[in-house]
Structure 1
Amino acid sequence: MLQTIADQYRTAVLVPVSRGSTWDGVRDGFGPDVDVIDRALHRAFDAVAVDPERIGIAGFSDGASYALGLGLANGDLFGHVIAFSPGFIPSAARRGQPRILISHGVTDPVLPIDRTSRRIVPALQQTGYDVTYLEFDDAHTVPLDIALKAAEWLGWNDPPAG
Structure 2
Amino acid sequence: MTGPGHASGRLGSRPVGAAPGEAWAAGVHALDLGGGAEVLLAVPPGEPVPRPLLVFFHGAGGTPAQSLGAVQQAAAGRGVLVLAPRSGAATWDLLTGRVGRDVAVLDAALQQVAGHAAVARCAVGGFSDGASYALSIGAANGDLFEAVLAFSPGFAAPPAAVGRPRIWITHGTGDRVLPVDRCGRRLAAAFDRSGYDVTYDEFDGGHVVRPEGVNAALDRWLG
Q: Please name the residue that 1:131 is paired with.
A: 198
Mapped to 2, the partners of 1:133 and 1:47 lie a distance apart of: 35
Instruction: Show the 5 A alignment for 1:58-69.
Output: 58-69=125-136
In the comparison of the two structures, how many residue pairs are matched? Answer: 154
Q: 1:75 aligns with which of 142, 145, 156?
A: 142
Q: Which secondary structure does the structure 1 equivalent of 2:124 belong to?
A: strand
Consecutive unaligned residues in structure 1, runs of 5 or more? none
Matched-pair identity in % = 47
Per the TM alignment, residue 119 of structure 1 is displaced from its structure 2 partner at its CA by: 0.8
Deviating 4+ runs (over 6 angstroms): none
Q: Matched residue of 2:149: which SS? A: strand
Q: What secondary structure does 2:89 align onto?
A: coil
Q: Which residue of 1 aligns with 2:100?
A: 31
Following superposition, the deviation at residue 8 of structure 1 comes to 1.2
- Higher mean C-alpha deviation, range 56-65 or range 145-154: 145-154
Gaps of 5+ in 2: 1-69
What is the identity, as a one-letter code, of the residue corresponding to 1:118? R
Residues 92-107 of structure 1 aligned to structure 2 (within 5 Å): 92-107=159-174
Q: Which has the larger radius of gyration?
A: 2
Q: Counterpart of 1:7? A: 76
Name the residue aligned to 1:47: 116
TM-score (norm 2): 0.67
Question: Counterpart amino acid of 1:72?
Answer: A
Q: Give the Cα–Cα distance (whole angstroms) in 1 for the partners of residues 190 and 79 of structure 2.
A: 34
Q: Structure 2 residue aligned with 1:19, among 88, 92, 104?
A: 88
Q: Does the CA contact (< 8 Å) of 2:134 and 2:150 recur in 1?
A: yes
RMSD: 1.0
CA contact (8 A) 1:75 1:96 kept: yes
In 2, the alpha carbon distance for the partners of 1:141 and 1:43 equals 31
The TM-score normalised by the length of structure 1 is 0.92
**Greater share of helix residues, 1 or 2?**
1
State the Cα distance separating 1:29 from its structure 2 match: 2.9
